[in-house]
Amino acid sequence: MNGVVSGSTRGGSEFAAIDWRGRPLQVEYQWIAPERRASPLMVFLHEGLGSVAMWKDFPYQLCEAGGFRGLVFSRPGYGRSTPRAPEDAWGVDFMHRQAQEVLPAFFGALGIDEPLWLFGHSDGASIALLYASMFPQSVSGLVVLAPHIFVEDVTIQNIEQARDAYQTTDLPGRLGRYHGDPDSAFWGWNRIWLDPAFRAWNIETELATVRAPVLAVQGLDDEYGTLAQIHGIAARVPGTQLLELPDCAHSPHRDRPEDVIAATIAFVAAAGGTP
């Protein structure tokens, strides 16, 4: 791959040191084609159980097809980043804190000071939207796959099923392929989503300050959310483009990668980000 690190290559990870609320953390990351200095920088924000490794080769495929640079990373608590301390529990505002505190610290540690293109999936898509609402001058555009802007019954039902699977099947072992500490990743995500207080979580108000163009993608068979999520974004962010994909569940980049890649390249080009 001509020296370019694929999102599926664990051995290619580097680590950035950040301080988050007085705790030193190591954040796992990988660059894709950093030599393309004039190209748009696409930052990949993973799902609630995601990591650098969980993306597999999709970031590389997208960046190669679109001529982008890429930055893939694992949020603290995931992948090979510093695990969540056993006594730590995510709060209802955990996605707000990721957007407002962790992302700026991480970008600062890497010396990034240019407008970014954010490519987020599920929780990562929500964090991307929150970052764009808080730092509108720092974002050129957003591609959000299966985003959450409020909590739906279907989401909770399937997260409950995931909890049962983690306790009764080989799911911990399978997640161990993508996380140094699968318990850290799973319970941090699962417990906050199933906390009764989280049912009131909602970021519809924050969308009013998003200024960057948005491409919102959802599978028609998404088991974790309905089309009300991306339609809610379109109702609040003028000019939002929607892509509704049949034969596609919660991970459009895995179920329909060619469609997602083509739509992303066209979206970036239309928004003025063509290399």
Q: What 3 state SS string does 144-160 have? A: EECCCCECCHHHHHHHH
CATH number of the domain enclosing 141: 3.40.50.1820
Q: How confident is the model at residue 8, as a pLDDT?
A: 38
Q: How confident is the model at residue 274, as a pLDDT?
A: 64
Q: How confident is the model at residue 87, as a pLDDT?
A: 84
- Total count of domains within the chain: 1
Q: Would you say residue 149 lies in a domain?
A: yes
Contact 47, 87 (CB under 8 A): no
Q: Would you say residue 205 lies in a domain?
A: yes
Q: Would you say residue 5 lies in a domain?
A: no
Q: Would you say residue 257 lies in a domain?
A: yes
Query: Residue 196 sits in which domain range?
Result: 10-270
Q: How far does Cα 67 stand from its chain's mean position? A: 20
Q: Would you say residue 275 lies in a domain?
A: no
Q: How confident is the model at residue 86, as a pLDDT?
A: 83
φ, ψ (nearest 5 deg) of residue 58: -60, -45
Contacts of 266 (CB under 8 A, 6+ apart): none
Mean pLDDT of the chain: 94
Q: How far apart are CA 195 and CA 50, in angstroms?
A: 20
Contacts of 272 (CB under 8 A, 6+ apart): none
Q: Would you say residue 74 lies in a domain?
A: yes
Q: How confident is the model at residue 275, as a pLDDT?
A: 55
Contact 54, 48 (CB under 8 A): no
Q: Would you say residue 2 lies in a domain?
A: no
Output the pTM of the full model: 0.94
Ranges under pLDDT 70 in the chain: 1-11, 273-275
Q: Would you say residue 246 lies in a domain?
A: yes
